[in-house]
Amino acid sequence: MINAPTRVGTSGRRIFVAKLAGTGVFDPLGEKVGKIHDVVAIIRLDLTAAVIGFVVEVGPRRRVFLPLTRVTAIKPGAVITTGLLNMRRFTQRPIETLVLSQLFDRVVTMNDGSGPVRILDVAMEQRRPRDWVIAKLHVQRVRQNSLGFRRGGETMTVDLGEVTGLLKTDSTQAATALIQHTEGMKPVDLADFIHTLPPDRQFAVAMELPDPRLADVLEELGDDDRVAIVSALDAARAADVLDVMQPDDAADLVSELPDAKAQSLLALMEPEEAEDVRRLLTYEESTAGGLMTTEPVILGPDATVAQMLAAVRREDIPASLATMVFVTRPPMETPTGPYLGVVHVQRALREPPQTLLGTIMDSDIEAVPPEAHVATVTRLLATYNLTILPVIDEDDHLLGAVSVDDVLDELLPEDWRDFDDDVTDRMMARSIDG
């Protein structure tokens, strides 16, 4: 979190947005209804900037607009509302600026000729009840060297009129300060946050994320967003990120790219990772082969329970793949030797650490061929209460495994992330006035 300057009083109260972000929003009875996600302002050509409201996060993957007319008080650690929230999902209008998402890290120029500065924080000041404006910018000087701009200068707080370029969108604008507000987000929540950003800010956030974090986010994003991000990345960086992704997700993404772009990225990937992706691309959509991952947890019958539990504890193993281990003959990489069965983690937890997997494996779990339709896979997962299902070829070699999350992604509409859930609306909508 940025160390914002202390709030001060002049003609009115002053609040810095970095400290306001994440603040709880409460109804008049003191019940929490959400938290501040961003501040919405309208910046005019004369550099007057009116704050018109807040983007409030009211539940998982749901952000709504709270106009200032429905805010009765802004206190330390709390924003108090009239109790009325419009539960319609927030959509930014062209005239609006999201202060945290779009202004933080923007490089502007000091009018006194002292050079460029980067915006670290933005202060809003109260002029009258329910009337707030953007009044100050907390900035840091940007020094220039032979390699380009770098941060490292003094910080200061200036008026909006002391800078030029506030309204100009900078295609090279970083997202360092913005990223600090997303560090605790789960990948699915960060993906939802990125989905709400303008395209230039989506790319800026992607550039700041390390490869494993970006890979996790791309696995959760819709096709349009992740294709746009990968297409904008440097080819070498894009290939590195694809290497880290789960093979099935990487294959899905590559299949959405133009053929020339896809082939160039596959050529830059690590050979083993690229081979897995190419193999998955040969299967038809909506089949077990098209949905499966080629990297489930695989061990031999002579492996012990202790070795199995160590394998499923790996941080890079998705939860859906960690519920069981597949037992095969060598080789242990897909396509494997003959498939023998599975060992459920729950069963392994009841056994001594030295127990051999071959003595406790379940050989009754029905495997499916790669041509099996998603409807067949869904029926088997539901019938046997499984989170993952083995996929084998005609010679009983394990090719991969289909997990329940991949099936859900296939069954849900492509734009399911944008759907408004009527049930959620009814549960979350509040009307204190009756």
Q: Which helix (H) or strand (E) holds 63?
A: strand 62-67
Domain 14-95 identical in fold to domain 177-282: no
Q: Are the beta carbons of 139 and 23 closer than 8 angstroms?
A: no
CATH among 3.40.50, 2.40.10, 1.10.3470, 1.20.1530 for 101-170? 2.40.10
- 298-411 — its CATH code? 3.10.580.10
Maximum pairwise Cα distance, the chain? 80
253-264 residue pLDDT tens: 999 999 999 999
64-123 residue pLDDT tens: 999 999 999 998 899 999 987 888 889 888 889 999 999 998 999 999 999 999 999 999
pLDDT of residue 329: 96
Domain definitions of the chain by residue range:
14-95, 101-170, 177-282, 298-411
pLDDT of residue 429: 42
Q: Which helix (H) or strand (E) holds 201?
A: helix 199-208
> In this model, does residue 420 exceed pLDDT 60?
no
Nearest to 90 by CA among 223, 195, 229: 195
Beta bridge partners of 138: 121, 157
pLDDT of residue 7: 42
Nearest to 374 by CA among 248, 187, 188: 248
CATH superfamily of the 14-95 domain: PRC-barrel domain (2.30.30.240)
- Round the average pLDDT of the chain to a whole number and report it: 87
d(CA 323, CA 15): 48
Pairing assessment for the beta strands 324-328 and 339-344 based on DSSP bridges: antiparallel
CATH fold label, 177-282: MgtE N-terminal fold (1.25.60)
d(CA 304, CA 298): 12
Structure tokens at 117: 């500065």
d(CA 78, CA 57): 14
248-291 residue pLDDT tens: 999 999 999 999 999 999 999 999 999 999 999 999 989 999 99
What's the first-to-final CA gap in the chain, in angstroms? 39
Sign of the dihedral through C-alpha 193, 197, 201, 207: positive
User: In the predicted model, what is the mean pLDDT of residues 381-396?
Assistant: 94
pLDDT of residue 417: 58
Sign of the dihedral through C-alpha 146, 147, 149, 155: negative
Cβ-based burial of 56 (10 A; exposed 0-12, middle 13-18, buried ≥19): buried
Q: How confident is the model at residue 430 (pLDDT cuts 50, 70, 90)?
A: very low
d(CA 396, CA 272): 22
